[in-house]
Structure 1
Amino acid sequence: MSSPTVLRRRLGGELGKLRSSRDMSAKDVAAALGWSASKLSRIESGLVSLQERDAAKLLAHYGITSPEEVKQFLKLTRQSRQQGWWHAYGDALPDRFRAYVGFETDATKIVTFQCEAVPGLLQTEGYARHIIRAMTPTESTESVELKLALRMERQHILDRTSPPQIWAIIGEAAIRRPVGSELVMAEQLNHIATMAEERPNITVQVLPFSAGAHTSMGSSFSIFAFSDIPSSVVYCETISSKTYIEQQSEIARHEDVFHRLMASSAQPEKSISWLRQVAEEYGK
């Protein structure tokens, strides 16, 4: 079964289709039910869970009266409210990032551009610990270790019988900036190279400084694709915000940006050799 995050998105998409098929605006539906427009928007985008009573109100408003159809919608609503495996990590996982882990858990393909750091799915424990500590300097050692355990747990998706396809473009800054000791960096870069060499589902490219200005200056992002949901999701993150993008025009724009980054980056085989070379430099 899909994760609650993806089930919420599927449910929200179906409810959005019902509203559109009846030529109703989100603003009018929200007003009729005494909700804010933002509440309905978050429901349709799958960013919040939906109570069964609210699902029933929406179905009634859209004129859905078939007992079997109502039953199926309410069943999906209940399933979408179940807790994912990541719930056990509590406060180590901010609310807005729960959706990210859910998308990551169910994605069949993930493409990501990271200009400043190694992608989380490819981080070693030593590297990840230093990254987490640097980004949360005021948190306790216990909190840092819990966040680290969550990051390592997320990587288990790579060990599945049918793991997701991963295509990662990493900025040269991420392999040149020391994180932790030189030994930590050598281990990290060798780990990326080994993953790309030994796992056919993982492709890595390095975007060199020599590429100059590029199509995603100062911005990192990930795109998640799914087997059972036709639309992808784009995730963008800054220090103060985490944004999920589902508009088709914006998804297409990010896909175009990623393809341009691919063309500007070193080819996979050259990238692996480059990672090994820099790792050797750190190891001296």
Structure 2
Amino acid sequence: MAASPTVLRRRLGQELRNLRESKKLTAAQVAKSLAWSESKVSRIEGGKSPLSDKDAKLLLNEYGVQDPQDIRQFVDLVRRSRQNGWWHSYGDALPEWFKPYLGFEADAAQVLIYETELVHGLLQTERYAQSVIRSMSQAPTADEIDRRASARIQRKEILTRDNPPKVWVVLNEAVIHRVVASRSVMHEQLSHLAEVAENNPNVTVQILPFEAGAHASMGYSFSILSFDDTPGSLVYSEQLTSAVYLDKTSDVSRHEEIFQQLVAASTRPDSSVAWLKETAERFGT
């Protein structure tokens, strides 16, 4: 599977950072030499900004890369990184701050997820997704709701593709009790969760019970994404009108540590599936 444009930008940024550091240059020094802002260098190295052919060549020249073949290969990757992902067809239906996540998710080898309030988008049914979108958006039109829900459904294809990512989800118990839309919708959603966890060996779902008490991620949902061909993991945390992307080793390590604590405090995967089925049946009566 070809890497998504978002992941290619991140890979290019890391290669440029490695080249800069090998020359013992700071981002500030490079920015001054090219008459750029330091934030521009930082955005490029973080994979947060598209890279033009011209800027790529300027940076390679700054770092002493002169071989024509190396330059051609790098610029080819730069051009591929500017291509549109599948989510581009949804246009304004998706917020700009969310689109990079879709690229990372599409290329991830592993996704670790903790959710405090709702079922994660990868595991939502269409009716559940529509209700969540309706409640969290400002006066959305019926078309916007349908398009956003459709995008969420399309995301789920990564779970059953060839070489799917390993997805491990921990849900706060509140998620399975909160009635979203109706009891019928919850019956459908929880049954779907149980089915996905039971029938897909790459998907694990656990429930963090109320009786587990206080923990290090109370009120804070997050995802940790890891990649096969790109070093370093990424933490994603969604807010009301924006998102945070963290890739510092210390930040990632802390979130990984917290996730393992949540896993240890949660009900075992087989017991969680049974719990989901039981709760789904109660909603279905």
* 3-state SS of paired residue (1:27): helix
* 3-state SS of paired residue (2:98): helix
Distance in 1, Cα, partners of 2:190 & 2:23: 54
What's the CA shift for 1:65? 1.2
> What is the aligned-residue identity percentage?
49
Task: Name the structure 2 match of 1:180.
Answer: 181
Task: Name the structure 2 match of 1:262.
Answer: 263
* 3-state SS of paired residue (1:96): coil
Pairing 1:142–2:143 present: yes
Question: TM-score, normalised to structure 1's length?
Answer: 0.98
Distance in 2, Cα, partners of 1:275 & 1:225: 27
* 3-state SS of paired residue (1:282): helix
Distance in 2, Cα, partners of 1:5 & 1:219: 25
Task: Name the structure 2 match of 1:208.
Answer: 209
What's the CA shift for 1:93? 1.8
Pairing 1:54–2:49 present: no
What's the CA shift for 1:162? 1.6
What's the CA shift for 1:19? 0.6
Task: Name the structure 1 match of 2:279.
Answer: 278
Task: Name the structure 2 match of 1:7.
Answer: 8
Question: TM-score, normalised to structure 2's length?
Answer: 0.97
* 3-state SS of paired residue (1:29): helix
Equivalences for residues 1-284 of structure 1 within 5 A: 1-284=2-285
Q: Which amino acid aligns with 2:103?
A: G
What's the CA shift for 1:180? 0.7
261-270 or 58-67: bigger deviation: 58-67
Q: Which amino acid aligns with 1:24?
A: L
Alignment coverage as a number of residue pairs: 284
Distance in 2, Cα, partners of 1:246 & 1:166: 19
* 3-state SS of paired residue (1:28): helix
What's the CA shift for 1:66? 1.4
> Where do 5+ consecutive residues of structure 1 fail to align?
none
> Where do 5+ consecutive residues of structure 2 fail to align?
none
What's the CA shift for 1:240? 3.2
Distance in 1, Cα, partners of 2:134 & 2:33: 47
Distance in 2, Cα, partners of 1:254 & 1:114: 13
Ranges of 4+ aligned residues in structure 1 off by more than 6 Å: none
* 3-state SS of paired residue (1:204): strand
Cα RMSD for the two superposed structures? 1.0
